[in-house]
Amino acid sequence: MNNINYQILYKLILNNFVAYLKIFFVLVFINIAYFFIKTPTYTSEVSFYATYNDMQEASLFSPLSSLMDSTGSLNFSISDYVKSDKILQELVEKEYIIDGEKENLVDFWGSDFINFYDLNPISFLLKINKHLNLNPSLSDFDKKTFFAKETLSGKIDFSENRITSIYNVSITVGKYPSLSKEIIENAYNSILNYVGQIENSKASEKIIFIKERLNQVSLELKEAENEKLVFLQNNKRPFSASLILKEQRIQRKISLHADVYLNLSNQLELAKISQKDNTSSIFILDKANLASEKDGRSLLINIIIIFLLSFVCYYLFIIYKNINQIISNKK
C-alpha cells in the first residue's frame, strides 16, 4: 500500500522555497521589463445594426427575395466586405494624422516592410520570408501597399449577431490611439457607402424586373380582353351552358391578369420611392471613441498569474524528482 509522507513533502516545499522565489523574481523582472518596453496597443470599436425598409419588401412577383433573409435583413455579407481588398485598399490610401503630420498607411506601414531590417529577430525573419515570397516584378510601391493592407487586415476584428443583426467592428493599433479611432471611423463610412450602393443597385434591378413583368402581363391582359371581344362578337346570345362556362373562364383570366397588373403597378411605385429614399439600412449604436486605456492585462494581474503558474509548475517538478521519498510502501 502506498502512503504519502507529508512530513517529507512539507520539508521539500520549505527547503526549496528560496530557490522558487529566485525564479519567481526573475520572471517578474522579465515581465516588468517587457511591460514597459513593448509597444502599447489601443482598440477603437464601432457598433451598428442593419434593418430593411418596409417599402423594399420583396413581393411574390419579384426575385428580390434573394436580397433578404427570413428576418427582413439585408442578405449580403458585411463581414466579407470588412475583410475585402476593396475596403483595405480604400483605408490604406486615406491620410491620417500621425505624429502631427498627414500620412497614409501605405507609407506608414509599407515603409517598415521595405526597410525590413529589424532588431526583433522574429520580425526580421518574417519580413525576409515575405520578401522572398513576393512577386519580384512588383514595384516598391506595390510591395508597400500589399504589406500595408496585410497589416491592416490583421488588426481588424469583426463580429455579428445574426439574430439581432448587430455588428461590431474594431481596430487595434500600436502606439497611436487616435489612429485606431480614425481608421474605424473611415471603415464605418465605407460600410455605409457599400450598403447604399448595394441597396441602390438592388432597387434598380427590382424596377427593371417589374417593368419587364408589367409589359408581359399587359400583353396577356390585352390578349384575354381580345379573346372575350371575339367571343362576344361570335356569340351575341350565349345562353347555352357550355358558352356561359367559356365566357366565365375568359372573364376569370381577365380578372387575374388585371389583379396582377395592378399589384405590379403598386410594386413599381414603391420601388421608385425606395430608389429615391436616401435612408440607410445601417444605424449606428456606439460611435468610435478614443481609446482611454491600453489593451491587455494590468501589470498586477500578470504578476499574480506568474506567481500561480510558476508555483504550481516548480513544485510539481520538485515532487516528481523526489517522488520515491514522498511515497513510501507499507505492507
pTM value is 0.58
Asked if residue 319 and residue 182 are part of one domain, the reply reads no
**Rounded alpha-carbon distances, angstroms, from residue 302 to 22, 54, 85, 296, 299:** 17, 52, 37, 10, 5
**13 and 34 within one domain:** yes
Across 196-211, average pLDDT: 81
Question: Residue 91: which pLDDT band, with cuts at 50, 70 and 90?
Answer: very high
- Contact predicate 153/136, CB 8 Å: no
Predicted pLDDT at 292: 58
Q: Are residues 105 and 228 in the same domain?
A: yes
- Nearest CA among 133, 137, 166, 160 for reference residue 147: 133
96 shares its domain with 218:
yes
Residue 89: the pLDDT is: 92
308 and 269 in a single domain? The answer is no
pLDDT tens-digit series, residues 274-323? 666 666 677 777 777 766 556 556 677 878 888 888 888 888 888 888 87
Q: How confident is the model at residue 229 (pLDDT cuts 50, 70, 90)?
A: confident
Q: Give the residue numbers spanning the domain of 323.
A: 1-39+295-331
Higher pLDDT, 146 or 67: 146
Nearest one of 24, 28, 7 to 313, comparing CA atoms: 24
* Same-domain status, 24 and 104: no
Given pLDDT bands bounded at 50, 70 and 90, which one contains residue 57?
very low
| Mean pLDDT for the chain overall | 77
Mark whether 94 and 30 lie in a shared domain: no
Cα 110 from Cα 102, distance rounded (Å): 15
Is 55's pLDDT higher than 50? no
Q: Are residues 48 and 60 in the same domain?
A: yes
The whole-number pLDDT of residue 160 equals 81
Per-residue confidence (pLDDT) for residue 61, from 0 to 100: 36
Whether residue 15 is found in the same domain as residue 142: no
Neighbours of 323 (CB within 10 A): 9
Question: Is 118 in a helix, a strand, or coil?
Answer: coil
Same-domain check for residues 145 and 264: yes
Residue 119 and residue 23 share a domain: no
> Residue 141 maps to which CATH number?
3.30.1890
Q: Which has the minimum average pLDDT: 241-245, 291-295, 325-329?
A: 291-295
**pLDDT above 70 coverage of the chain, percent:** 76
Q: State whether 112 and 253 are in the same domain.
A: yes
* Digit-coded pLDDT (tens) for 151-192: 888 888 888 877 777 888 888 887 788 888 899 899 988 888
Overall number of domains in the chain: 2
Tens of pLDDT, residues 133-148 = 777 777 778 888 888 8
List C-alpha distances in Å: 25 to 32, 299, 308: 10, 14, 13
